[in-house]
Amino acid sequence: MTLLAQPTEPATGRTRTGSTALDLVLRFRALGLVIALAVLVAVTAAVNSRFVGQQSIRDLLLSAAITMLLAVGMTVVVLTRGIDLSVGSVLGLSAYVTADFLQSNAGTPVPVAMLVGLGVGAACGLVNGVVIHVGKVPPLVATLGTLYVFRGIVYFVAGGSRINASDMPPGFLDFGTARFAGIPYLIMVSLVVLVLIGVFLSRYRAGRDMYALGSSPEAARLAGVPAGRRLLTAYVLCGALAGLGGVLHAARYGTVDASAGSGLELSVVAAVVVGGVAIFGGSGTVYGAALGALLLTVISNALPVLSIDQFWQQAIVGALILGAIGLDRFVGLRVAASLRTKDSHVD
């Protein structure tokens, strides 16, 4: 894997004008999310000071950790103008297969359990990638189908039973609650993955190619980007992280059944869009998606404290998604207009 060389600035200034405007907006979006988080936490803490207690904050981060992990993988796919609606089902399949494996192999180390979950998720992601790239099926349709296929496999494998905490090794369950320097291991795993994928997307050519595919698939192909390989990489990576999320789910909750992860894909997509990743592809960061996941988690936990009906949560999330998509569209039009103005001056 080679580092991507810094591009030289074209004579027309086209790239610089568009990217500068977009970078400013993305930074403002991230700042807006941080401010929204701060205000929401401050208001909720004013109503109930225990909301900012050490244990409460730890629980909030734990609740966001798995969604954050899946949002990182989803970001890579969305950057290429794709989507993966099967991540919840992949998490459920990985969680059950991993728990069943640990039940039969009590002495299995936690890293091996993670590899099992990663393998299950990567296999599911490869199926998605092949169906989309080779079968030429639209990502929305393909992953909607595999959502039900993978969930059906979970129900078939589970056979109506569930795996309880007493059936799994104590060491694995301890991993779900253990902390290092006060930080739970599950949060540390999500943060490490977040940084690694963030570096991959920003510093390496394969990562930058994801942005190129989302910005203009045809131009990316003409520039020599191996579109098929990058697309498969994106879906395999997304599936692998969903599989790792299944391992973390099993470690945290202990009890695993066929319904694990049901409906989670909607929260993940919402986190990605709210976090500033353009649903049309080509722009956004995994850090914004992580902030989006954290914001949605805080909203869901703050509403009961503020005595607001939980039914309003869906309305709030929906409004945030519509606002984020509208802002992306507005930015796209402004950047395009800026580029046209620049070209007219050059001509």
- Percent of the chain exceeding pLDDT 70 equals 86
Give CA–CA dist 55/64, Å, rounded.
14
Q: How much is the pLDDT for 127?
A: 97
β-sheet bridge partners, residue 256: 163
Q: How much is the pLDDT for 339?
A: 54
DSSP H or E stretch at residue 184 = strand 183-184
- Residue 269 CB coordination number (10 Å): 21
pLDDT at 1 over 60: no
Domains plus CATH for the chain? Answer: 19-342 (1.10.3470)
DSSP H or E stretch at residue 107 = none
Give CA–CA dist 261/208, Å, rounded.
30
Higher per-residue pLDDT: 61 or 120: 120
Q: How much is the pLDDT for 12?
A: 37
- Percent of the chain exceeding pLDDT 90 equals 43
pLDDT at 17 over 50: no
Lowest mean pLDDT segment, chosen from 107-111, 195-199, 233-237, 309-313: 309-313
Lowest mean pLDDT segment, chosen from 16-25, 138-147, 185-194: 16-25
Per-residue burial over 2-20, b if 16 or more Cβ lie within 10 Å, else e, is eeeeeeeeeeeeeeebbee
Q: How much is the pLDDT for 178?
A: 84
Copy the structure tokens of residue 206.
């394969």
Higher per-residue pLDDT: 326 or 1: 326
Copy the structure tokens of residue 27.
């930074």
Strand, coil or helix: 163: strand
Give CA–CA dist 300/313, Å, rounded.
6
Q: How much is the pLDDT for 332?
A: 63
Give CA–CA dist 290/75, Å, rounded.
10
Q: How much is the pLDDT for 345?
A: 52
**Dihedral sign for Cα atoms in the order 120, 122, 123, 127:** positive
Q: How much is the pLDDT for 76?
A: 95
Q: DSSP string spanning 238-296?
A: HHHHHHHHHHHHHHHH--B-TTTTTTHHHHHHHHHHHTT--TTSS---HHHHHHHHHHH
Which class for 218: exposed (0-12), middle (13-18), buried (19 or more C-beta within 10 A)? Answer: exposed
pLDDT at 236 over 90: yes
Question: What mean pLDDT comes out for the span 98-124?
Answer: 91
Question: What mean pLDDT comes out for the span 200-217?
Answer: 91
Q: How much is the pLDDT for 97?
A: 94
- pLDDT, tens digit, for every residue of 63-84? 899 999 999 999 999 999 999 9
pLDDT band at residue 337 using 50, 70 and 90 as cut-offs: low
